[in-house]
Amino acid sequence: MEDSDPTCAVAQIKNKTQQCFESRKNANCLLDIIAYSETNNKVVLLACIRSFHKLFPRYLSSGELFLDIPNDLKEKDLTKEEKYKVWLKERYNDVVGKLIQLVHHENLNVRELSLCTLMKFLSEEAQLPAAKHTQPRTHFPLTLFRRIVHALTSESIDLTSLIGRFQEYLSHDDVRYHFMKILHKQVTSKAQKSASDTVLTNIVTLLEQISFPSNETGELDQMMTKYPDSENTEKVRSLDEHRKLFTNVWIDFLQLKLPNSVYKKVLTILHEKVMPHLTNPLYLSDFLTASYDVGGAISLLALNSLFILVHKHNLDYPDFYEKLYALFEPSVLHVKYRARFFYLADLFLSSTHLPAAMVAAFAKRLARISLRAPASSLTITVPFIYNLINRHPNCKVLIHRETPVELQEDPYNSEEQNPVKSKAIESSLWELKTLQSHFHPDVAKKAQRIDQPLSKEEIQLGDILETSYNDLYVKETRKKVKYAPTNFNPPNGIMGLPSDKLNLCWTLD
């Protein structure tokens, strides 16, 4: 029903909602409200959804939607009360169908209110005993919940902004349990066919919302269902069962062909939001080692989770340092994950049991790519190299050797993939000598520190990992100088200096 005056339509909806509350005789007003929900006007739509949010929870809690009618009973044999309940249940199904559609509405407020209303219906149904349920012989309203989850995993509409609102409902243990079961079936079905990037984005966003309570006993008791199913109560209340489901969903999801954006998002959240809740984090070994072999930003993001497997779960990865060495290339200084990479690389290279030849190779490789690095990156790389030398005394030979006159005299082989065979330990850090003449005073000062006796304390990288050009600019502008630098010879016009070579080519009249 379209209405040219939204204010009038909203007033009508409120009036008809009140009439439905007052008497069953006004039940037909519900048809008018449903008709109003066919509009495209978001103000009217929101008013309709609020009306549904008020009316149907009352019908559910009062038992007016409860049907205890034999299947073989004909409509003409129904009493007035039974006919009313049949009619009301049909309207309830109409409203649920409409709200499922509105979850995909273009307006975020309409989406959110529709989802909240559907979950309110779910909550009210979950409070009913099985005998009074809208779906007989069920305890948790799975039929309705399955439709909600399917709506949130749309194939064509990105619902990332809406799914964040869904997290609050997953605090109920029974909701989380059934949600993971439904989602697992969807993920396994996607494996049989090519899934769209949109649905994979929606699924990973939903998976990201799952969290578990810190419960040492392993028994869960935060239920939405008032009358739990005795057959499934043990599984729903078991934290181990939840983790098994969680593990199965994630392992099957990671076997899908993920688009680059989803791939990066998965690697970003894996170490913090997924691994702590898996039954065995080593199940991710194949996925993470394959990701580490991809190169570029994917490898950088896989480092965090891979470090946890190596450090805490004894994953044996013999080529780990060769792959890490390969990541030290100029592009790593420009990616937005730079701070995380250097933080993890510092952890990996902190062991004093590493061969000096390997540590020297990392220091030399980083020094070489620093020659083409932006100033904001050099404030990280130079202290990083300093710490490597300070941490491994056998590498001090790199700063005591004389600088080669020609680049060809440097024995270091930058093309060698194996850091131990790169002959870096036979070379010198002449690159840092070059950086001592850098235009930025902070970089030059940090590079000059290598000429001084090494202190016992390492440079704390935590404060400088996020350094940007803006930080360098702000730092410079806060310096107080007595005399500002100016030209030695005062300029006289565009080409006013005697040494200006443009005078030889142009004449300005």
Q: Which two tokens stand for residue 157?
A: 């509409």
* Under 8 Å between Cβ of 291 and 302: yes
Euclidean distance between CA atoms 394 and 363, whole angstroms: 13
| Averaged pLDDT for residues 223-228 | 73
Q: Which two tokens stand for residue 379?
A: 């404030």
Residue 379: predicted pLDDT:
83
pLDDT band at 392 (very low <50, low <70, confident <90, very high): confident
pLDDT in tens, 329-352: 888 888 777 888 888 888 888 888
3-state secondary structure of 202: helix
Closest CA to 242 of 167, 171, 190, 154: 171
Euclidean distance between CA atoms 214 and 232, whole angstroms: 22
pLDDT in tens, 151-209: 999 999 999 999 988 998 998 888 999 999 999 999 998 877 778 899 999 999 999 99
pLDDT in tens, 268-282: 999 999 999 999 999
Residue 32: predicted pLDDT:
92
pTM score of the predicted model: 0.80
pLDDT of residue 360 exceeding 80: yes
Share above pLDDT 90 across residues of the chain, in percent, rounded to a whole number = 38
Instruction: Estimate to the nearest angstrom the gap between the alpha carbon of 110 and the chain centroid.
Output: 25
Euclidean distance between CA atoms 54 and 332, whole angstroms: 55
pLDDT of residue 466 exceeding 50: yes
Q: Which two tokens stand for residue 376?
A: 């904001």
pLDDT of residue 106 exceeding 90: yes
Closest CA to 152 of 140, 139, 136, 170: 170
With b for 16 or more beta-carbon neighbours within 10 A and e for fewer, the 315-336 pattern comes to: beeeebbebbbebbeeebbeee
Residue 184: predicted pLDDT:
94
Tell me how crowded residue 6 is: count the other CB atoms within 10 A of its CB.
15
What residues contact residue 380 under an 8 Å CB cut-off, 6+ apart? 338, 342, 461, 464, 465, 467
Residue 465: predicted pLDDT:
63
Q: Is 15 exposed, middle or buried (0-12, 13-18, 19+ CB in 10 A)?
A: exposed
Tell me how crowded residue 222 is: count the other CB atoms within 10 A of its CB.
13
Q: Is 449 exposed, middle or buried (0-12, 13-18, 19+ CB in 10 A)?
A: middle
Instruction: Estimate to the nearest angstrom the gap between the alpha carbon of 200 and the chain centroid.
Output: 13
Q: Mutual orientation of helices 80-102 and 108-126 as an angle, nearest 10°?
A: 140
pLDDT of residue 130 exceeding 50: no
Share above pLDDT 70 across residues of the chain, in percent, rounded to a whole number = 83
Residue 136: predicted pLDDT:
44
Torsion of CA 497, 498, 500, 504, to 10 degrees: 130
pLDDT of residue 4 exceeding 80: no
